[in-house]
Structure 1
Amino acid sequence: MGISAITYERPGVQLLETADSFVRWVIREKRSSSPNTDWRAEKIKEFIDGHSAGDLLSIEEVCEELGLPTSVRQARRLFKTLVGVSFRKYARNKRLAFAARQLEATEEPVKVIALEIGYRRTAEFTRSFKELFRLSPLEFRRIWSRRECAA
């Protein structure tokens, strides 16, 4: 019964220079690496990426707008296969990423930013923001504005 030494390794910490790099790190995509990705899923993703953050889109509306020859159920499945998350979650994360950039770059009240991206209630926005970023909107603003002042 020999005693073995226990070593402790400190977890690596990645310093992120900007709020934008933090947002990209949190919302990293798990894109399918398959060369056989479906063009319809790509079109849906491009549409969301190019659309205003304030627009609440449903996959039905997007398919109709793009004139895609697919059922809603199939579109959901194809999109999740491509991106790794559901359509609804992807669209929500894009809206919250926009809000995070607004919190860093402007002094607009949280309530106004929440309304801009489609939340009717600030509490609902705060809950979603905290779920994704592990910080409340005010904590996020405080941290990133402090980093800007220090730079």
Structure 2
Amino acid sequence: MKSYIFALLTALFWGAAPILGKMGLAKLPPFLALSLRSFTISAVLLATGLLSGSFKNLSIETRSFLFIAGEGLMASLLGQLAYYYALKYSEASKVVPISSAFPLVTVALAFLFLRESLTLKKFFGTLLVILGIILIRG
């Protein structure tokens, strides 16, 4: 049950965020906007980590660090920057559904690299995502 609540909160936050992003990008270039966003997030995370004691006894395996750093570079830097450019030059109602098709990539890569199963439900779900992208492009 907890996972569904967090998933719904994710949908709420990620659904509202593009509206703020689109409004902020009206007078900012995407790179500067992403820099401001990243600085704000970093400051909040650093303060929270220090105040909560989450950084005590910090021990991180190199492999884990590299995977998380790579994920951050792909999602929070490159993906977000491309998303900001798309959002700046198009309608949020078109950009968000298309950029939200990332599960197609995740399903394929999870099958290839994580050896996750490709069930009939996942297959038809990805087909519906593709159909949704085709419909929203118009």
Whether TM exceeds 0.5 here: the answer is no
Rg comparison, structure with higher value: 1
Give the structure with the larger helix fraction. Answer: 2
Larger RCO (CA within 8 A; separation ≥ 6): 2
